[in-house]
Structures are given as C-alpha cells and as structure tokens.
C-alpha cells in the first residue's frame, strides 16, 4: 500500500513487479548519466573556447553517433525480456475470471464448481475502522500464496482495466474479448488496485482488493464460500 508523499513504487509482491522496479532503476541511472554528460558538455562549451580541432573532429561525431545506439540497446534488451516474461503463462494452479461492470467487478473461480461473487466498494459509512476509504470492498479476491495464478479479464458493458500495482498487473477489460495475464504472489498480504480505464461517472469507485494467503487458508475459505 502506498504511503503519503511516497515517491517510489509500492513494495513489489510478485517476481514481475520486482523486475519492473529493477528496470526502472536501471533506466533512471542511464538517464542520470546522460544528463550529467550533457550538463558537463554545456558547461564546457560556455566556459572554454572551442578550437578548430574540437569543431571538426570526426572522432567526436563518431562517438556521439555510436553512443546513443549503445544506450538504446542497453535499455531495449531488459525491456524486451520483461515483456516476454509478462506474457508467459505456464500451467497455472488457479484460473480466475474477472468481469468489469459499471461500476463493480464480478469474479469466477473457474476451477471450482460454484464459486463466484460480485465485489462492490464498501461505502464510507460502512467502512470498519482502520480500512482504506475508496479502496476496500465487500468481497475480496482470495488467492493462494506462491502459486501461479491466471487471470482472464473481460467486461460486460464498457472498457475497464484490472490493475494491481504491487503485483505488476494491469490488463484491459474489453467487452466481447478475453484478455489474460498471470502473476505469483511472493508473500501473504492484502494488495489494493483500481480500475485504470475511464469507464464513466463512478470510475473511481470500483476498487480491487487481492488477499494472498497460505494454501491451507485458501482451501478453507473456498470450502466455506462454495458450500
């Protein structure tokens, strides 16, 4: 969960999000090096008199042509690796279908015979003490920890987007189309997200809450809910 005046990302709770945070730090260091070099050259040009050798040097032109290409490769390779990792879905332990409505989410646990529910935002007047306003729901998505989860995401009316920042997941929900993504939670906890596609007047009132629990707790919860 993000804190007030927090400048960085939320704590990563999935391998994909850990990779995204590392790539973000890597890209920032590259950008910092470029800005420092440009600032140094600007200062040098303003304070030093350029000679004819500096103005006509072909070696300098060669360097400032090749160097940006190398920088782009250093950014592209890890970026492409993460993109392919995000598309990989290998034998999930649980498949969960999320359906976006105006303005709530419906969930179906397709591996169970009869396990589905609607998830509405908890009104502020009914919010228990200590819970987050505009982020808490009446029915949380409960998943087993350290298990591959496949999300199948669609919408019933307009465009929505199922996004949980701590898990590194953001997938559009499109009417008439099934999109899928996968993730693994590395620790127990409660992770908050929101619809990230403007979907109407109450767009900001359809939060997402994912609760990661040990396998035995998930089995007890699923047995209780499906009975």
Looking at residue 140, which CATH number applies to its domain?
Answer: 2.60.40.420
Domain match, 80 and 103 both? no
Element (H, E) at 142: strand 141-144
Mean pLDDT of 68-90: 88
Domain match, 120 and 194 both? yes
Domain match, 198 and 137 both? yes
pLDDT number for residue 63: 82
pLDDT number for residue 54: 57
Strand order in the sheet with 189-195: 141-144, 207-213, 189-195, 160-164, 169-173
Domain match, 34 and 104 both? no
Domain match, 78 and 188 both? no
Whether 50 shows a pLDDT value over 80: the answer reads: no
Q: Final residue of a domain: which of 87, 118, 140?
A: 87
Mean pLDDT of 143-166: 93
Parallel, antiparallel, or unpaired: how do β-strands 169-173 and 160-164 relate? antiparallel
Query: Domain holding 52: CATH number?
Result: 1.10.287.90
pLDDT number for residue 17: 92
Examine residue 10 and state whether it is found in any structural domain, yes or no: no
Whether 52 shows a pLDDT value over 60: the answer reads: no
21, 9 in Cβ contact below 8 A? yes
Domain match, 44 and 106 both? no
Least confident of 44-58, 91-105, 130-144, 212-226: 44-58
Domain match, 115 and 189 both? yes
Residue 103: cis peptide before it, omega within 30 degrees of 0: yes
Examine residue 73 and state whether it is found in any structural domain, yes or no: yes
pLDDT number for residue 114: 85
Residue numbers of the domain that contains 154? 94-225
Domain match, 47 and 70 both? yes
pLDDT number for residue 2: 72
Task: Please give the angle made by the CA atoms of 64, 67 and 72, to the nearest 5 degrees.
Answer: 130
pLDDT number for residue 55: 57
Total count of domains within the chain: 2
Mean pLDDT of 191-214: 91
Whether 145 shows a pLDDT value over 60: the answer reads: yes
Examine residue 4 and state whether it is found in any structural domain, yes or no: no
Task: Please give the angle made by the CA atoms of 58, 62 and 64, to the nearest 5 degrees.
Answer: 115
**Between the CA atoms of 73, 14, 28 and 172, what dihedral angle is there, to the nearest 10 degrees?**
80
Domain match, 119 and 177 both? yes
Examine residue 5 and state whether it is found in any structural domain, yes or no: no
Domain match, 171 and 100 both? yes
Domain match, 115 and 199 both? yes
Examine residue 60 and state whether it is found in any structural domain, yes or no: yes
**Tokens 């989860």, located at residue:** 149
Largest CA distance in the chain: 85
Examine residue 145 and state whether it is found in any structural domain, yes or no: yes
Specify the pTM. 0.83
**Residues 197, 203, 205, 206: is their CA dihedral positive or negative?**
negative
pLDDT number for residue 107: 95
In angstroms, rounded to a whole number, what is the distance separating the alpha carbons of residues 77 and 135? Answer: 36
In angstroms, rounded to a whole number, what is the distance separating the alpha carbons of residues 17 and 14? Answer: 5
Examine residue 209 and state whether it is found in any structural domain, yes or no: yes
With a pLDDT cut of 70, the percent of the chain lying above it is 95
118, 106 in Cβ contact below 8 A? yes
How crowded is residue 109: how many other Cβ atoms within 10 Å of its Cβ? 20
Q: Final residue of a domain: which of 35, 67, 87?
A: 87
Examine residue 210 and state whether it is found in any structural domain, yes or no: yes
| End-to-end Cα separation, the chain, in angstroms | 32
Least confident of 36-40, 89-93, 172-176: 89-93
Q: Final residue of a domain: which of 70, 87, 104?
A: 87
């Amino acid at each position: 969960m993000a804190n007030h005046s927090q400048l960085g990302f939320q704590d990563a709770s999935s391998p994909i999000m850990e990779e995204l945070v590392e790539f973000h730090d890597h890209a920032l260091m590259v950008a910092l090096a470029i800005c420092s070099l440009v600032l140094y050259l600007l200062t040098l040009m303003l304070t030093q008199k350029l000679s004819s050798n500096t103005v006509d040097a072909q070696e300098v032109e060669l360097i400032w042509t090749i160097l940006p290409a190398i920088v782009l490769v250093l950014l592209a390779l890890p970026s492409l690796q993460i993109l392919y990792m995000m598309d990989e879905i290998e034998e999930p332990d649980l498949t969960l279908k999320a359906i976006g409505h105006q303005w709530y989410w419906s969930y179906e646990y397709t591996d169970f015979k009869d396990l589905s529910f609607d998830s509405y935002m908890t009104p502020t007047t009914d919010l228990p003490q200590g819970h987050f306003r505009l982020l808490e729901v009446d029915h949380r998505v409960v998943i087993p920890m350290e298990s591959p989860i496949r999300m199948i995401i669609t919408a019933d009316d307009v465009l929505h987007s199922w996004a949980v920042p701590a898990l590194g997941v953001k997938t559009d929900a499109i009417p008439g189309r099934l999109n899928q993504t996968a993730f693994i939670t590395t620790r127990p906890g409660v992770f908050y997200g929101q619809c990230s596609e403007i979907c109407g007047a109450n767009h900001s009132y359809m939060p997402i809450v994912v609760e990661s629990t040990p396998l035995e707790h998930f089995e007890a919860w699923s047995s209780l809910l499906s009975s």
